[in-house]
Amino acid sequence: MLLKVNKSLNFSKKPRSLRAIRYLIIHYSGMQSGRVSMDRLKNPKSKVSCHYFIERRGNIYRMVEDNKIAWHAGKSKWKDLKNLNKCSIGIEIQNKGHFINYQNFSKKQISSLIRLIKVLMKKYKIKKRNILGHSDIAPLRKLDPGEKFPWNFLSKKGVAIWYPKNRLQIYDTALKIRRKIFFRNIYKIGYRFFNLSKKSNKDRKIIMAFQRRFLPKEINGKITDKTLKISQLLS
């Protein structure tokens, strides 16, 4: 796989063991162009970076070596982990994002991404359940890679999880226990930043983050029958 190099010095000084790498985190750049995005990822003042950047044309740039801790995840949680930077590789995909002009990802980008993921999965023995979006690990702050990111297509290529549609039978569940079941399910999957036993104004953002990943045509922040069932199938 052909990689271009565009080095960023935004990483922690102390290197990590390659055995620590257990997750891949997918981001979008959220800026006007690839050049502007990479310039920011290299700017020491920005204090952000990633390991790999994928342009619209599908070119892959290595920005930080895998054994270095890049600054891509920020305040994040997944299962019992609180700082995903330490155990993950960050992959940034060029896209203007929700606050400028959210685009469909190009076929070349997705093709390059799948090739890169397969290499990293094999190299570091990463499970497909551990390939996550930024909004999965930081649902109160982040929207990327967003509802236009083709998670279902990636699952067909063996590099992400999805739910079995042939088992998507909907059952009526009382509203009183709906929240409890849903949040218990997504807690098992790995989502955090919520209270299992108490409602919160954070709930809606958490639900939307889950829907953005697994139900992109139904992002309403409500625990619908389909949202609940998908959470059960994945937990």
Among the listed residues 55, 92, 147, 218, the single catalytic one is: 92
User: Tokens 């102390």 — which residue?
Assistant: 14
Sequence-distant contacts of 44-49: CB under 8 A, at least 24 apart: 44/9, 44/10, 46/10, 47/10, 47/71, 48/10, 48/72, 49/8, 49/10, 49/11, 49/90
92 is catalytic: yes
Phi, psi values for residue 184, rounded to 5° = -65, -40
H-only helix segments in 11-150: 34-42, 107-124, 134-137
DSSP structural state of residue 140: T
Query: Nearest CA to 150 among 26, 234, 33?
Result: 26
Task: Specify the amino acid at residue 39.
Answer: D
For residue 4, give the H/E element and its range: strand 4-5
Annotated catalytic sites, by residue?
92
